[in-house]
Amino acid sequence: MTSTVTHEDMGTQVEEVLRQRFTAHSENAQAYGSEFASLWRSAATHALGGKLVRPRLLLDIHRALAPVPTIEQASAAIDVATHIELLHYAFLLHDDVIDGDLTRRRGPNLIGALAAESPGSTEEASLHWARSSAILMGDLLLSAAVMGFARADLSQPTRLRLLDLVEQTILETVAGEHTDVALSHGIVAPDLHTVLNMSVYKTATYSFSLPLRAGAMLAGASSSAEDALHLVGRHLGLAYQLQDDLLCVFGDHRVHGKDAFSDLREGKETAIIAYARSTPAWSRIERAFGSDDLTMQQATEIRDRLRECGAEAFVTGLIADQREAVQTLLSEAEASGEISADAAATIAAVATRLDGRRS
């Protein structure tokens, strides 16, 4: 059976499939007690609130490389895109447990919501209940994601190639998160090289390389095309993370909606900080950096010093470097015929969109 599917349908279908999955899980969970069913419902609320950046990236590249997909191709793309979103949410949950975060964007995250609703006898007990629940839900979604890739309706060679890609992706993401924790405890030195590698592994690999490579693979692209997209994804993802770092310190908090200056209060080792450490300004920044009770005035002072010492400009330059690297890679891949002009243009458009974001 061969037919075509519009791209708009596919984006909507990812959301619909996710919603159906969570509903089915919540209903099945009732057999194990109402608390467990309630955990599934809460997880659904939080998991479904995202912008689906990763599934949309996969579907964008898939459409560019296979403009007229068969029903089978479209359905496999939606399936894999859906499981990348589940993987993303599993990572987020464990990341929030590790970082002790209770909020995401403007509201409570799953842990914050569970702790607030919990009838725990103390705040500590409520937090333990909420974090334990998040560890367990993360385990369920992580295994559901891997199961989803394993069951995707693909030829055996493509499925094995996809599983290799997912395994490598999970390894790099976890390695990046592990380095991030090591940085936060001063267990590894916060030099620029380490911080940039950490960002690539923790964020770029699964958020950008994975959807691009999986989308290409499902569209029947060659493994050399996939290799090119791997590099493109790393640069795009690094640019995305560096922008996030800049927004948290220099952005307009009323627009991006994140906790103002949270990176400065948490003492997060970003590229901005790694650069500042190498300048004479650091001695005046480090006093208040990472202090739990950082005042708005202290934070604003640090921000101004980071700007004065050239850290903002340096990281802005790094982002431009990534953008340029993406362009070069796309031109080369297009010239060598590894990817189509349409695919190159699609990714260039994603890069432009990311570049202008304010949140």
By the criterion CB under 8 A, which residues form the site for a copy of itself?
28-29, 32-33, 35-36, 39, 90, 94, 97-98, 118-121, 125, 128-129, 132-133, 135-136, 138-140, 142-144, 146-147, 149-151, 156, 160, 163, 166-167, 170-172, 174-179, 181-182, 185-188, 194, 201
Q: Which is nearer to a copy of itself, 154 or 354 (CB)?
A: 154
Q: Which is nearer to a copy of itself, 128 or 256 (CB)?
A: 128
The crossing angle, in degrees rounded to 10, of helices 53-65 and 71-99 is 150
Contacts of 342 (CB under 8 A, 6+ apart): 64, 65, 67
Minimum distance from CB of 148 to a copy of itself (Å)?
10
Question: Cβ(349)–Cβ(310) under 8 Å?
Answer: no
Q: Which is nearer to a copy of itself, 166 or 294 (CB)?
A: 166
Minimum distance from CB of 181 to a copy of itself (Å)?
5
Minimum distance from CB of 337 to a copy of itself (Å)?
31
Q: Which is nearer to a copy of itself, 45 or 132 (CB)?
A: 132
Q: Which is nearer to a copy of itself, 40 or 208 (CB)?
A: 40
Question: Cβ(275)–Cβ(246) under 8 Å?
Answer: no
Minimum distance from CB of 274 to a copy of itself (Å)?
16
Minimum distance from CB of 146 to a copy of itself (Å)?
4
Q: Which is nearer to a copy of itself, 25 or 277 (CB)?
A: 25
Q: Which helix (H) or strand (E) holds 103?
A: strand 103-104
Tokens of 29: 């969970």
The HSE-up count of residue 177 (CA atoms within 13 Å, CB side) is 17
Minimum distance from CB of 174 to a copy of itself (Å)?
5
Tokens of 201: 């592994």
Compute the CA torsion angle 294, 300, 303, 309 (nearest 10 deg).
-110
Q: Which is nearer to a copy of itself, 25 or 63 (CB)?
A: 25
Which burial class, exposed, middle or buried, applies to 225 when counting CB atoms under 10 A from its CB (0-12, 13-18, 19+)? buried
Minimum distance from CB of 99 to a copy of itself (Å)?
9
Q: Which is nearer to a copy of itself, 118 or 316 (CB)?
A: 118
d(CA 218, CA 235): 22
Minimum distance from CB of 169 to a copy of itself (Å)?
10
Minimum distance from CB of 76 to a copy of itself (Å)?
16
d(CA 66, CA 221): 9
Contacts of 185 (CB under 8 A, 6+ apart): none
d(CA 248, CA 263): 7
Question: Cβ(250)–Cβ(270) under 8 Å?
Answer: no
- Residue 249's identity, in one-letter code, is V
Tokens of 233: 């994804």
Question: Cβ(55)–Cβ(81) under 8 Å?
Answer: yes
Q: Which is nearer to a copy of itself, 177 or 245 (CB)?
A: 177
Beta bridge partners of 104: 107
